[in-house]
Structure 1
């Protein structure tokens, strides 16, 4: 096996904490991930991971080795970038690694990536969807989409995208059966579809109500937005989810938006990428396309 590839797989296991998650991030099977780790351990003559039934834990040797792996992989990435810059044309080529949150990434970002691949046939893209805040530099991502306020960074450029707006909606069938609420406080008498990653006691927030969130209840909850969307389409209740997930259903009349003037302000969204005086064509073109399709401002690449 390729030793550099095995190092990259080991770093992915260390970052994600499991073979299954690393397999998804590296587009491998969990069995192949295990083979890469085994090869490294046999080569080093030391155990890198302690395994239990749920998670992988770094040994003392593994914790030291993973830092060396990160440095080596970053040096290889830099060397590849230098070689790519030396080509005498401006055609985007090579592999682009992008990370984004699940809901936004699986919709709008995936659409932009698909268009980008059509425009630039010499580029391949790894789109890693995760609600975990990945370290763009340490994990060798070329670009990342972030929702919410950003910490200051001297190493990353942040470009604003269209804000992330939440929508409350229900199917016409549900509203015919249960009635259409005209005030958010009426939701306490309705079946609401909740996300399991939100604290059940946190409630739903509305702009014109008091500072206290509105506590709602219902018969169905899930840790996946798409599952909640499907439940809403089936008439199981009222859903609170991102506009990007529900917009097409609302436009087609499959869902009806509620309380449009009562929702809290949208959250900021940014495109992040490493600061570089000579950005590669693949990154420069990707940033331009993302800004064109998802940004509130003109196309361009800040350095």
Structure 2
């Protein structure tokens, strides 16, 4: 509450209230000046500013003593409440900056969010019981400022003006299939062999549109047109189809890690490189991250951060 008084001097009303309360508590302008580090004249100006603003006398002054007017007594009690609330608000803000608490809004791609991020979120909430998370999963690149997100996770090289990136482990892409599928149809030995296999296609386009997988060996790129009976924009659907032996899948090792470790899927063509996609968590530049944002980003780096 900053106000211009009648003489054009900018005055902080909360400061004036605090000075006024000090004058009343300590019994004199001089004592209040010594306590606040102001001159007695400046202490007097703060009180006069309040009286001018209210159009009423707060302190009855004589050369020997001072006393509160009826209005001054009521105003004094209310000032103590207002100053206490202001101090509590500052203390709460400071505490929230030091200790994670409050609602955290996070946006992430659907597949990464449901299969990778969700388990980390529940572990994070167990560590920080004063935090709530609103996790929204969608594949479009949202504007965190306009849409109110504090953390945004994105895969691939995406433009991020006004955002600060926290690198996470990149998507390492692998090709895999169920042991049953490989027993029935054989294992591809080179990328072009995939043209003779059922491949599980990730995407939203029509089945008649060809899809390509890209491979590298010794810096040389091989582009393979693949096809299959199942196409879906939901990776969990494709992974389940792969586990059940319906074809060969290409996807993030991070997502298929459990299936590979359990032997339900087997990696093939591991001698060939597949393009790696960067993964980043973003927060808004120019804003000092709150404790909940910092702790969430730290938890992400710990779970799947840059070294994987």
TM-score normalised to structure 2 length: 0.65
Q: Find the partner of 2:112 among 90, 104, 108.
A: 104
Q: Which residue of structure 2 aligns with residue 160 of structure 1?
A: 167
TM-score normalised to structure 1 length: 0.66
Q: Find the partner of 1:262 among 253, 256, 272.
A: 272
Q: Which residue of structure 1 aligns with residue 136 of structure 2?
A: 128
8 Å CA contact retained: 2:97, 2:290? no
8 Å CA contact retained: 1:204, 1:213? yes
Count, aligned residues: 217
Aligned counterparts, 1:177-216, within 5 A: 177-197=184-204, 200-208=209-217, 211=221, 213-216=223-226
Distance in 1, matches of 2:91 and 2:277, equals 39
Q: Equivalent residue of 2:117, what SS?
A: helix
8 Å CA contact retained: 1:202, 1:213? no
Q: Deviations over 1:103-137 (max 9, x none)?
A: 11112211221111001111100111111111111
Q: Which has the larger radius of gyration?
A: 2
8 Å CA contact retained: 1:84, 1:280? no
Q: Equivalent residue of 1:105, what SS?
A: helix
Which stretch of structure 1 is more off in the superposition, 102-111 or 199-208?
A: 199-208
Q: Which residue of structure 1 aligns with residue 250 of structure 2?
A: 240
Shift of 1:273: 0.5
Q: Deviations over 1:43-90 (max 9, x none)?
A: xxxxxxxxxxxxxxxxxxxxxxxxxxxxxxxxxxxxxx9885244772
Q: Deviations over 1:186-231 (max 9, x none)?
A: 1111111112336842411111396562111212222211111111
Q: Which residue of structure 1 aligns with residue 158 of structure 2?
A: 150
Q: Which residue of structure 1 aligns with residue 147 of structure 2?
A: 139
Q: Equivalent residue of 2:98, what SS?
A: coil
Q: Equivalent residue of 2:184, what SS?
A: helix
RMSD between aligned residues = 2.4
Q: Find the partner of 1:217 among 218, 227, 236.
A: 227
Flag the 1:96–1:128 CA change in 2: closer, same or farther, 3 A.
Answer: same
Q: Are residues 1:278 and 2:288 paired?
A: yes
Q: Which residue of structure 2 aligns with residue 95 of structure 1?
A: 103
Q: Are residues 1:118 and 2:133 paired?
A: no
Distance in 2, matches of 1:151 and 1:224, equals 24
Q: Deviations over 1:216-266 (max 9, x none)?
A: 121222221111111111111111122222111111100000112313231
Distance in 2, matches of 1:174 and 1:270, equals 35
Q: Are residues 1:175 and 2:185 paired?
A: no
Q: Which has the higher strand share?
A: 2
8 Å CA contact retained: 2:174, 2:270? yes
8 Å CA contact retained: 2:216, 2:222? no
Shift of 1:96: 0.3
8 Å CA contact retained: 2:199, 2:249? yes
Shift of 1:101: 0.7
8 Å CA contact retained: 1:203, 1:215? yes
Q: Which runs of 5+ in 1 are unaligned?
A: 1-80, 299-303
Q: Equivalent residue of 1:206, what SS?
A: strand
Q: Deviations over 1:9-30 (max 9, x none)?
A: xxxxxxxxxxxxxxxxxxxxxx
Q: Which residue of structure 2 aligns with residue 293 of structure 1?
A: 303
